[in-house]
Each structure stands twice: as C-alpha cells, then as structure tokens.
Amino acid sequence: MSKKAAQKAAKKAEKELRQAAALAAAAAEEEEIDPLADKYGDTKLEDLQSKAVTGRKWTEISELGTDLEGSTVLVRGRVHSKRAKGKMAFLVLRETIHTVQCVVSMENVGSKQFVKYASLLSKESVVDVTGNVSNPRNPVSGTTQPVEIQVTELHCISKSTNELPLLLEDAARSDQDIEKAAKEGIQYARVLQDTRLNNRVLDLRIPANQAIFTVQSEISSLFHDFLRANKFRQIHTPKLIAGASEGGSAVFKLQYANDQPACLAQSPQLHKQMAICGDFRRVFEIGPVFRAEKSFTHRHLCEFIGLDFEMEIKEHYFEIIDLIGKLFIYVFNELNKNCKKELETINSQYPFEPLQYLDETLVLAFAEGIQMLKEAGFETDPLGDLDTETERRLGLLVKERYKTDFYILHRYPLAVRPFYTMPAVDDPKYSNSFDVFIRGEEIISGAQRVHDKDLLLKRIEECNIDPNAIGLQNYINSFSYGAPPHGGIGVGLERVAMLFCNLDNIRKASLFPRDPNRLAP
Ligand code: ATP
C-alpha cells in the first residue's frame, strides 16, 4: 500500500469510528430513562377509555386571562402552531376560536427530551397541558388570550397526521390578505371551495367557520325561543311522504316498504296545515327539507333546514306579517348582541356591512315594487314572478329609499304561488301571499292558505294538479271537518345565516352541504 493510500485508509477508519461513537451517544441519550418521563409523552389509549373519574379541574382556553396569573391550570387544546428556539419550544394551543401560547423551557421542565417532545408534536394533535399562568413580559402577538402557560406537563392524547390536505392558516386567510400579500410579492395558497368541503372537518376548525355555525345555531334557537314565548308548539312532521308536498318535479323519489312509491318531504307544508286542522292553533318546526332541484346557484341546496311556522289568523294575513317583523327584529337584535365576537371573526375573513333594518319592518305591496322598478327603468311583468336579478335590483332600490336591508313584499300575483295560497278577495289575480328579503335575496315565502275545501278543490283544478294523487287526498279531506283561517311561512336557515353575514355562497352556511354534485362528506 502506498503511503498516501495508507493515510487515506486511516482517515476513513477514524471517520467511521467517530460516526459510530456519535450514533452510540445518541442512542444512549434516547435510551436514557428520563426521570421526568411521566410529565410528558403520548397518553395510552386505555387511559382514555373512560378508565377513571379523577376530578381534575379543567380550564377552558377562553377563560385564560390575567386574573389567573400565578395559578396552575390544566387545559386541553389542539397544537395550532409550534416553534423551537434553543432550549425552548413554543406551542400555540387552540380551542375553537381561542388560542394561547404555551412555553416549554428547560428552566421549567428540566429535561431536554421534554422540550424535544414538544417541538416534535404534529400540528392539529390534541394535547393536555398543565402549567402556570404567567403574564408575558412582551405581549404575545397572534393569540387571543393575553397570558402564557409555563408548561410543567404535556401529554398528547390524539395525534394528527403530518400530511394535512389543507393548512388552517391558508384556509383562514381572507381574500383581501391574499391579494395584499401578492402585491408585496408573497404568494399564499388559496384554498378552493371544493378542497374545503372535501376536507370539511379541517375547514370547520377555522375561526370564521366556528363563528358561522355559532351564528347559525343562535338563529334557530332564537326562532324557537320567540315562537315558544308566543304560544307556538313545536312539531315534527314526517319526512317520508307519499306524494310531493310542493308539487313539481323537484322531489327525491324513493322506494318505501311493500314497494310503495314515496318521496322525501319538500317542505312540512301539508302536514303543518293538517296540524292546524287538528286544532294545534300555532305550530312551528325546525327540520330538514329536501329539494331535488338542478339549480347550481350560490343559494340553493338539495337539503336545507327549514324553519316553518303556521298559525290561525283571526281576520287578516297581516297578523302573520306583523309577527314576522317582530320575530326577525328579535333575531337580528339578539344576534348583534349575543354574537358580537363571532360577527367580528366572520367579518375579518369575509368582510360585510352589518345588516341595516328598521324598528318597524317595511312592508311593500308587490305592485309598489313593480312601480319602483319601472321608475328606475326596469320593466317587469306585473303579473309574473321576480327573477333573482330583479329581486336584487329591487333590494337595492328599497335600500336606497328606505334605508333597510330587510323588508316584506306582499300581495303577489296568484299565478306564481302554490295551489294552497289564498286568492285576494278584491282581485283574484292577486293573492294573500308574501316573500321576505334580506339584502335583495329571498329568505321567506309565506301566505294565508286556503282553508275552504271547495275553494281548495277549485284551485287544485286550476293548477292542473291531480286531486287523487297519493298524499293529497288526506290533505284535502282534512278540510272536510271544519278548519280555521290560517297561514304561515317557510324560512331557509342557511339562507338567513348566509345573508345576515352577506356570505357569497350558501355552502359556507351549511355544515355538510348537499347539492346536485355533492353527497359527501
Ligand atoms: P327560491 O325562489 O329562492 O328558489 P322558493 O320560492 O323555491 O325559493 P320556498 O319553496 O318558498 O322557496 O321555500 C321557502 C324558503 O326556503 C326560501 O325563502 C328559502 O329561504 C328556503 N329555500 C328554498 N329552496 C331552497 C334551497 N334549494 N336551498 C336552500 N334554501 C332554500
């Protein structure tokens, strides 16, 4: 062997020795039993199978304020973000829309492995943290809570994969921020609607979505509470029915027992009226409504939540209109009061102007609406329906003149309303019906209904509907035994949530939306 070759071989051997020593040291460190090991690590599944009731006291992240400074808390949250710096790891923990910074430092935990464990946790994992609440010297930026937790114990109870199909920080960014960054040369990923909806469990975790569904929940609770306080009884009508409830083709057909044809209810219309015939006097329902419509619009779903009510009237359908005004002013006022934080959160991702509405709801006649459109240069058929674009135009004209985003248009032409709508007494070309609008889009349809059997049969014939159709006979017969004058409304919950917050698409206000192209997740 030449001298040069011998030197090279010696160097190589030395290098291999060094590498082996380093590996052995690392392995020893790994194997070294950390005396603090019970203070951190992955919780075993069996410990989460309702093994014991320990009585430990938990604190919500939202409750972490400066008043808790110095106290020891136990919190559960998701790893929202993490950062390692020298001998420290910083975890931001999230619980719905609330976030807090947790500091894992050698000084507090006294174990290098503990800090390493914290820094290796995958984002979105669920962890339990014990620690002391401290007031940071410099205010923490980017968290909702003003304090920090100096961690003393950290356990992961459910790990998330590292391969997230979307990043929450991308999904939570507003279009404005994306565009602003682009001008500064920073390209952020835009998460498209299909990606969001395909991965809805992740998408739902972003603050705006948390807030939207709190608002949605609040709307249905307020609807419920107001009607209960006004002597309405909650009912549950069948969703499996023998014939179409609204007529037309937009019905999901299915095979019922014994090969009977059936369909999913397009509304609780017929049964809520039958409840009135059963002397229920004032009823409401909150339940799913199915429409097999092929409309690929920003405001139609194949399944939505219907908020319906039906009530006896003494003499005029204005009794219903009056109640709608009171009900919705109550809903809007309470939303503005109870959901301040949520509305701000939605606003920061999807900016919108707060809903403008009057204390006394504006009620306009359909003919007045047509006249306003005409004066503004838009000719429309005075006995036809308003299409979406015309409704929007009228909404803008109304807003300009009356300073409201919320109004009621009544006395629609009879020809554009369903067969069960009561014709107007003075002119049968019109009807005792109405639609209600938010920001120029329909949220409610309502009317006085025909309670007289002979008139009902006449209207059914005029509308070319088969009175012997299965399902319809029972409904018609309900009026044979006397029925009080009555009327009611159908509201789409997702529409109200969407339009109150001026969202651009109803899918944003539907938890797991169903449309002609989407039946999952
Ligand atoms: P549109 O004209 O908007 O299609 P519609 O006249 O068919 O609505 P109705 O059958 O009267 O509506 O239903 C009452 C309410 O139910 C509507 O005002 C709306 O809020 C809601 N709604 C109706 N269809 C849908 C749908 N496909 N998706 C979501 N909400 C709907």
| CATH number for the domain that contains residue 72 | 2.40.50.140
User: Is there a single domain that holds both residue 241 and residue 378?
Assistant: yes
Min mean pLDDT across 245-249, 368-372, 440-444, 489-493 is at: 245-249
The residue among 127, 158, 189 that closes a domain is 158
For the CA of 304, the nearest atom of ligand 1: 29
Is the model's pLDDT at 4 over the cut of 90? no
Q: Per the domain annotation, does 147 fall within a domain?
A: yes
Q: Per the domain annotation, does 480 fall within a domain?
A: yes
Q: Are 90 and 83 in contact (CB under 8 A)?
A: yes
User: Is there a single domain that holds both residue 401 and residue 487?
Assistant: yes
Q: Is the dihedral of CA 286, 292, 293, 296 positive or negative?
A: positive
> Is residue 216 within a helix (H) or strand (E), and if so which, with residue range?
helix 207-229
Q: Per the domain annotation, does 515 fall within a domain?
A: no
- Residue 420 sits in a domain of what CATH number? 3.30.930.10
Instruction: Kindly report the backbone phi and psi dihedral angles of residue 495, in degrees, each rounded to the nearest multiple of 5, phi listed first.
Output: -65, -45
406 vs 38, higher pLDDT? 406
Q: Average pLDDT over the chain, rounded to whole? A: 94
User: Is there a single domain that holds both residue 130 and residue 232?
Assistant: no
Q: What is the pLDDT of residues 325-362, one digit of tens each?
A: 999 999 999 999 999 999 999 999 999 999 999 999 99
The proportion of the chain whose per-residue pLDDT surpasses 90, expressed as a percent, equals: 86
Annotated active-site residue 445? The verdict is yes
DSSP-derived pairing of the beta strands 486-492 and 261-264: unpaired
Q: Are 229 and 281 in contact (CB under 8 A)?
A: no
DSSP-derived pairing of the beta strands 240-241 and 253-255: unpaired
Query: Probe ligand 1: pick from 331, 408, 442, 499, max atoms within 8 Å of CB?
Result: 442
Q: Count the domains in the chain.
A: 3
For residues 392 and 437, give the distance between their C-alpha atoms in angstroms, rounded to a whole number.
Answer: 9
Residue in 442, 449, 451, 478 annotated catalytic: 442
Hey, what amino acid is at 380?
T
Annotated active-site residue 300? The verdict is yes
> Is residue 491 within a helix (H) or strand (E), and if so which, with residue range?
strand 486-492
User: Is there a single domain that holds both residue 151 and residue 71?
Assistant: yes
Q: Per the domain annotation, does 314 fall within a domain?
A: yes
Q: Is 300 in the pocket of ligand 1 (CB under 6 A)?
A: yes
Q: Per the domain annotation, does 15 fall within a domain?
A: no
The pLDDT of residue 23 is: 66
Instruction: Tell me what percent of the chain is helix, strand and coil, each rounded to the nearest 5.
Output: 40, 25, 40
With CA atoms as reference, report the closest residue to 437 among 399, 397, 409, 402: 409
pTM of the model: 0.91
For residues 336 and 330, give the distance between their C-alpha atoms in angstroms, rounded to a whole number.
Answer: 10
On the CB side of 318, CA atoms within 13 Å amount to: 7
User: Is there a single domain that holds both residue 358 and residue 474?
Assistant: yes
User: Is there a single domain that holds both residue 233 and residue 87?
Assistant: no
Q: Are 461 and 473 in contact (CB under 8 A)?
A: no
The pLDDT of residue 249 is: 65
Mean pLDDT of 175-180: 96
Q: Is the dihedral of CA 90, 95, 96, 101 positive or negative?
A: negative
Is the model's pLDDT at 27 over the cut of 80? no
For the CA of 442, the nearest atom of ligand 1: 18
Q: Per the domain annotation, does 154 fall within a domain?
A: yes
User: Is there a single domain that holds both residue 390 and residue 360?
Assistant: yes
Q: Per the domain annotation, does 117 fall within a domain?
A: yes
Q: Per the domain annotation, does 371 fall within a domain?
A: yes
User: Is there a single domain that holds both residue 184 and residue 240?
Assistant: no
The residue among 94, 123, 158 that closes a domain is 158
Mean pLDDT of 256-280: 95
Annotated active-site residue 348? The verdict is no
Q: What range does the domain containing 73 cover?
A: 46-158
Q: What is the pLDDT of residues 193-221, one digit of tens each?
A: 999 999 999 999 999 999 999 999 999 99
